[in-house]
Structure 1
């Protein structure tokens, strides 16, 4: 049986194949969905990536994070818990000599709670479906996302974002709903029940 492979669609690493390891819940973001996302980002960022800090929280194959790195993002931090996926991410980083990429092996919630670096300009969330990950993550995001930072989410259903987040774009490909949101820091209050 032929191994499944996805490819980076734009930037310096364009057409680079990304091997897909066999891991439960792993769904690489399809090429056309990544192309749509980065068209959206191009619109909101004017094509400027060099000063951007990006967190790919459920990295999986790294398709989203390496796509951002390929387009010149200043810093891309990937988080993944599956050992085989982590090994594949590290191998691809080494092959690409992607100095702007850091790979962290660990649990997404633990990493979110321990992050102490500058807030991120974009957080990308493509967690395993139907495991309640987003409910556990919403309240942690304001601490690690800069004011007016962006949030990209893939989910099994269309999202109704909680207070403090503004839906900018959304679309659907097959069974996957994908969304781009802005963190509206001016709405952030510690007493907001929607994000507590």
Structure 2
């Protein structure tokens, strides 16, 4: 696993091999990340103003790729201890502690937002679970109006209340659903 492009291009991240099923770690393959970031680049994302929220962050590879490509800040949300250690090791490896924050929280039970809103969200819950829907409901107040959500799973998803569909792409067994946070605030 490596950073594909940008400031940290080619840097090898701490590996978990083919994943850690016990810790529910399943890194996004390099080719899927490359395709995903090509799609985002066509939308001028990330850029120097982009604040990224990486839910179910795992190794942190998606958020770190965004930082490498110019994002201003990434907040990683991860409850698993093995993944928290990997994220900390990978952030140290790229030397970007000042541009990151690791929240050791359950992504489905986020507290009220206290920071600037996020423009781009990576959502990579365990495949086949309902955790993505729950995390998006939990994160709604953390997001800027029209924030883009990139949801990785093994199938496409209908947006939960407060989100609208944007795009949908398949990459073998990986499916990426793009959603936008609805501009209007819901009760």
TM-score interval (norm. to shorter): 0.7 to 0.9
Per-residue deviation, 1:161: 1.5
Per-residue deviation, 1:181: 1.6
Matched residues, number: 182
Flag as ranges the 4+ runs of structure 1 deviating above 4 A.
none
Could you say which residue in structure 2 is the equivalent of 1:12? 7
Per-residue deviation, 1:48: 5.4
Contact 2:14 2:89 in 1 (8 A): no
Per-residue deviation, 1:101: 1.6
Per-residue deviation, 1:163: 4.5
Aligned partner (choices 177, 181, 184) of residue 183 of structure 1: 181
RMSD (CA atoms): 1.8
Gaps of 5+ in 2: none
User: Structure 1 residues 92 and 163, CA, compared in 2 at 3 Å: closer, same or farther?
Assistant: closer
Listed one character per residue, the Cα deviations across residues 123-170 of structure 1 (whole Å, up to 9, x for unaligned) are: 110011233102322322321111111101012221122344232221
Task: Determine the C-alpha separation between the residues in 1 that align with 2:120 and 2:28.
Answer: 17
With normalisation by structure 1, the TM-score equals: 0.84
User: Structure 1 residues 47 and 127, CA, compared in 2 at 3 Å: closer, same or farther?
Assistant: closer
Could you say which residue in structure 2 is the equivalent of 1:109? 108
Equivalent runs, 1:10-89 vs 2, <5 Å: 10-21=5-16, 22=20, 23-44=22-43, 46=44, 49-89=47-87
Per-residue deviation, 1:32: 1.8
Partner secondary structure for residue 20 of structure 1: coil
Aligned partner (choices 143, 149, 152) of residue 150 of structure 2: 152
Task: Determine the C-alpha separation between the residues in 2 that align with 1:93 and 1:24.
Answer: 19
Could you say which residue in structure 2 is the equivalent of 1:3? none
User: Structure 1 residues 137 and 104, CA, compared in 2 at 3 Å: closer, same or farther?
Assistant: closer
With normalisation by structure 2, the TM-score equals: 0.87
